């Protein structure tokens, strides 16, 4: 079995995440880098997105113009929120110039510890996917003296 630097690094990703970003709202770009295929039709594209935070929630807005609701999947696995969408090509059109692309979009996020994963909601309106992630509240830091017996 041939061991490459990429295989070693990919194996270390969970440790790197736990050590350096345990509670930050981070984009899981490292996994996407190793999962994407830069050649051929199977390559993964990333939509433009914004991550907004206020006192009560996090909001992710992804620009998915031209994509139907049934072609979008939003799921969560442990603390990893993934947005996937497929933009299908219209076969009957003759393009003079084509700057848009068709194919699969994918973006993943690592949720912070204060995200309420059980109450996430999503909506798609006017080409903008809005994913709302409520906060559980700030973690309480308690300080007390422990008696030594």
Is residue 43 situated within a structural domain?
A: yes
Is residue 69 situated within a structural domain?
A: yes
Residue 82: give its domain's CATH number. 2.60.40.790
Q: What is the pLDDT of residues 47-80, one digit of tens each?
A: 788 899 998 999 999 998 888 999 999 999 988 9
Query: For residue 115, what are the domain limits?
Result: 23-134
Query: ∠38-42-47 over CA atoms, to 5°?
Result: 80
- The pLDDT assigned to 48 comes to 82
Counted domains in the chain = 1
What is the share, in percent, of the chain residues with pLDDT greater than 70?
Answer: 64
Q: Is 9 helix (H, G, I), strand (E, B) or coil?
A: helix
- The pLDDT assigned to 75 comes to 94
Q: How far is CA 49 from CA 88, 93, 108, in A?
A: 20, 28, 11
Task: Give the predicted TM-score (pTM) of the model.
Answer: 0.65
Is residue 10 scored above 90 in pLDDT? no
Is residue 143 situated within a structural domain?
A: no
Is residue 9 situated within a structural domain?
A: no
- The pLDDT assigned to 22 comes to 44
Please indicate whether residue 27 or residue 125 has the higher confidence score (pLDDT).
Answer: 125
Which one, of 84, 70, 1, lies nearest residue 36 by Cα? 84
Is residue 146 situated within a structural domain?
A: no
Is residue 29 situated within a structural domain?
A: yes
CB atoms within 10 A of CB 45: 14
Is residue 12 scored above 50 in pLDDT? yes
Is residue 42 situated within a structural domain?
A: yes
Is residue 56 situated within a structural domain?
A: yes
């Amino acid at each position: 079995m041939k061991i490459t630097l990429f295989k070693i690094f990919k194996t270390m990703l969970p440790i790197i995440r736990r050590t350096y970003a345990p509670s930050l709202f981070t984009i899981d770009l490292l996994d996407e880098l190793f999962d994407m295929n830069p050649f051929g039709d199977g390559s993964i594209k990333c939509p433009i997105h914004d991550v907004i935070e206020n006192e009560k929630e996090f909001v992710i807005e992804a620009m998915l113009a031209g994509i139907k609701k049934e072609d979008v999947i939003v799921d969560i696995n442990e603390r990893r929120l993934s947005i996937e969408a497929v933009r299908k090509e219209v076969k009957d059109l003759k393009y003079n110039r084509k700057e848009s692309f068709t194919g699969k979009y994918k973006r993943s996020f690592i949720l912070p510890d204060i995200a309420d994963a059980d109450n996430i909601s999503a909506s798609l309106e006017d080409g903008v996917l809005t994913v709302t992630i409520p906060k559980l509240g700030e973690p309480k830091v308690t300080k007390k003296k422990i008696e030594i017996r």
